[in-house]
Amino acid sequence: MAGRLVVYVEDDEHNFLLVKRTLEMLEGVEVLHAASAIEGLDLIRSRPPDLILMDIQLPGMDGFEMTRELKRDESLKDIPVLALTANVMKGVKERALDAGCAEFVPKPFNLREFRQLVAGYLEKCG
């Protein structure tokens, strides 16, 4: 799994650091941070990752719209997007999947199970 890049779009620094530490236990995984959808789009376009982790509740453009924007881009549409959110209200999971997310991961989540989920996606990257 050496040389894998994950971008986490998350406006909460503490959530980002927790996920970063968890995923850096996987050998060769680098985790980059974007604090907003606009920052995330710029980062992803300049350095396309193997996997995108997407908070749904972002300031300005939300994670649904950002995911739709990524899926409209021919060069980025095949990068898997995992929705991570504390918003588990009825219909949120369906909206995330309809926007193009491959998975819906409600917060809080089991860190070991989450790391295994991410590892599975990164292994598929070839």
pLDDT per residue as tens digits for the range 61-95: 999 999 999 999 999 999 999 999 887 788 899 99
* Residue 124 backbone dihedrals phi, psi, to 5 degrees: -70, -15
Indicate which CATH number applies to the domain containing 45.
Answer: 3.40.50.2300
Q: For the chain, which residues score pLDDT lower than 70?
A: 1-2, 126
Which pLDDT does position 126 carry in this prediction?
Answer: 58
Which pLDDT does position 125 carry in this prediction?
Answer: 79
Per DSSP, the three-state class of 4 is strand
The pTM assigned to this predicted structure is 0.95
* C-alpha angle 94-118-75 in degrees, rounded to nearest 5: 75
Q: What share of the chain is helix, strand, coil (3-state, %, to 5)?
A: 40, 20, 40
DSSP element (H, E) containing 82: strand 81-85
Domain total in the chain: 1
Look-up of token digits 């970063």:
20
- Is 22 in contact with 119 (CB distance < 8 Å)? no
Can you give the residue range of the structural domain that contains 77?
4-123
